[in-house]
């Protein structure tokens, strides 16, 4: 799995922290890692973006971004309003493929959900994943409403001939409600893809040292970690099954 594309079911679901956890876990397993942010929005020229945040939390990764637009909008809209050249899926694929010749693992983080547009022609992260023939990991929220968005995302992936690598819960609450607890069983069922991890809420506020030590415990062996989905379900939601 030299290239893994990471998308969310929407915005603010924990993609960047999950990307950092995957990077930190791969580094701990002795792999070299690059992180590519396809299009960074809502960040000024001298401010750190998502790729830099991944590097801060995870450690010695190669951090890169292809385009940056100041307003917190969809990349195509942000590029148009700023009068800047948008990023195109083939550019994302070419950059990721080049990084893959130099690293064991390349993580390509999208902006928002799978079908957020990069350019006026309607290019998306899904198009970049198709060009790369790369699996796509879906980051989903824990609670009410996540089942529909997650199923729609994985159905869209399959309709394009793409493989949903699995689901990671981007922010598992300290006191999960009934919906979140039930979703531990329902998410992999509706997605038709395994649950590959759960990142505790607030993990992005940990010190880098604490984050790197904890990250492998949040992710399944398929992502180089030690997290066990069944054991997590039994511990967090024994009454929900």
The count of other CB atoms within 10 Å of the CB of residue 191 is 21
User: Over 90: is that where the pLDDT of 72 sits?
Assistant: yes
Q: How far apart are CA 30 and CA 51, in angstroms?
A: 20
Cβ(192)–Cβ(152) below 8 Å: no
Hey, which residues are catalytic here? 37
Once rounded to an integer, what is the mean pLDDT over residues 95-99?
Answer: 97
Kindly report, residue by residue over 37-70, the tens digit of the pLDDT: 999 999 988 899 999 999 999 999 999 999 999 9
Please give the model's pTM, rounded to 2 decimal places: 0.95
Domain ranges in the chain?
A: 3-102+109-128+148-166+207-215
Domain 3-102+109-128+148-166+207-215 sits in CATH at 3.40.50.300
Q: Residue 239 contacts by C-beta under 8 Å, 6 or more apart in sequence?
A: 181
CB 129 within 8 A of CB 164: no
């Amino acid at each position: 799995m030299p290239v893994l594309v990471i998308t969310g079911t929407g915005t603010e679901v924990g993609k960047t922290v999950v990307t950092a956890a995957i990077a930190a876990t791969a580094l701990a397993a002795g792999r070299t890692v690059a992180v590519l942010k396809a299009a960074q929005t809502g960040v000024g020229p001298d401010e750190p973006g998502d790729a830099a945040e991944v590097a801060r939390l995870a450690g010695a990764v190669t951090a890169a971004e292809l385009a940056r637009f100041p307003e917190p909008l969809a990349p195509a809209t942000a590029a148009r309003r700023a009068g800047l050249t948008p990023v195109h899926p083939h550019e994302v694929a070419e950059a990721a493929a080049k990084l893959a010749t130099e690293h064991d693992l390349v993580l390509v983080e999208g902006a928002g959900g799978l079908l957020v547009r990069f350019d006026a022609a309607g290019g998306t992260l899904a198009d970049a994943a198709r060009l790369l023939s790369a699996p796509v990991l879906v980051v989903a929220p824990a609670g009410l409403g996540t089942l529909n968005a997650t199923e729609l995302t994985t159905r869209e992936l399959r309709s394009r001939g793409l493989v949903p690598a699995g689901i990671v819960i981007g922010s598992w609450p300290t006191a999960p409600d009934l919906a979140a607890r039930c979703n531990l069983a329902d998410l992999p069922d509706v997605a038709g893809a395994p649950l590959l991890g759960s990142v505790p809420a607030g993990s992005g506020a940990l010190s880098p040292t604490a984050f790197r030590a904890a990250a492998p415990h949040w992710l399944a062996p398929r992502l180089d970690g030690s997290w066990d989905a069944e054991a997590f379900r039994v511990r967090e939601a024994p009454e929900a099954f």
